[in-house]
Amino acid sequence: MAVNRNLVILTIGLLCTNAAFADDQKAQVNYMLHCQGCHLPGAEGSAGRVPPMNDFIGYFLHSQAGREFLIRVPGVAHAALTDAEVSELMNWLVQRFSREQLPTEFIPFTVAEVNELRRDVEQSPNNARSLILANIAADNPALASEISKNKN
Ligand code: HEC
């Protein structure tokens, strides 16, 4: 019954695509409800107040400290969202707004990881940000000039 088998595979494929699509939609709605007020629809932020995440946030994933920072930053850690919603939102966010800046091997955030990191809220986000970006630039000379353009 080759046809039926193909049909089953096709159906499973469609279900998976729909599930991923539903997660993306949920992440986007959560972004609109919980983040967009400050970060704006295109994640462009506002100069001197809210850092731009578009075409930039992916750079943080070039270091472990940067990866942790993205979850420990107050707006994310304190969001009125579950750990699962935060991991879904952040995985969508980095790929939606900053896919090109991600390391070649982007490892998605897990729920357990978010659960642990968000308990340890970053108390000095601006200092942490500068230090983390300086370290990433020092370790990745090819990225340094792009990173230095964005000091916020
Ligand atoms: C009340 C305004 C506000 C809201 C709401 C908010 N943020 Fe932020 N966000 C900021 C500011 C300001 C910073 C800069 C660091 C700081 O002062 O906390 C920031 C920093 C960040 C950073 C670090 C980026 C960088 O380049 O330093 C990330 C990631 C982030 N926010 C994601 C989110 C997400 C995701 C949400 C929604 C769940 C959210 N924020 C909600 C204002 C906000």
Nearest by Cα to 93 from 7, 31, 135: 31
pLDDT score at 6: 74
Q: pLDDT tens across 103-112, in order?
A: 999 999 999 9
Q: Comparing 1 with 76, which gets the higher pLDDT? A: 76
Structure tokens at 73: 């930053």
pTM: 0.90
Q: Whose CA is nearest to atom 25 of ligand 1?
A: 51
Query: How far is the centre of ligand 1, averaged over its atoms, from the C-alpha of 51 (Å)?
Result: 7
The residue type at 52: P
pLDDT score at 114: 98
Q: pLDDT tens across 10-27, in order?
A: 676 666 667 777 788 999
- Is the predicted pLDDT of residue 1 greater than 60, yes or no? no
| CATH architecture entry for 24-148 | Orthogonal Bundle (1.10)
Mean pLDDT, rounded, for 36-65:
96
pLDDT score at 107: 96
CA dihedral 91, 93, 132, 103 (to 10 degrees): 60
Domain-wise residue ranges, the chain:
24-148
In whole angstroms, give the CA distance from residue 118 to residue 3: 49
Residues in CB range of 11: below 8 A, 6 or more apart: none
Atom of ligand 1 nearest to the CA of 35: 37
Atom of ligand 1 nearest to the CA of 52: 26
Query: How far is the centre of ligand 1, averaged over its atoms, from the C-alpha of 4 (Å)?
Result: 49
- 36 CB-side CA count, 13 A: 11
Q: Comparing 17 with 124, which gets the higher pLDDT? A: 124
Nearest by Cα to 27 from 103, 105, 100, 108: 108
For tokens 């300086």, the residue is 134
Atom of ligand 1 nearest to the CA of 57: 26
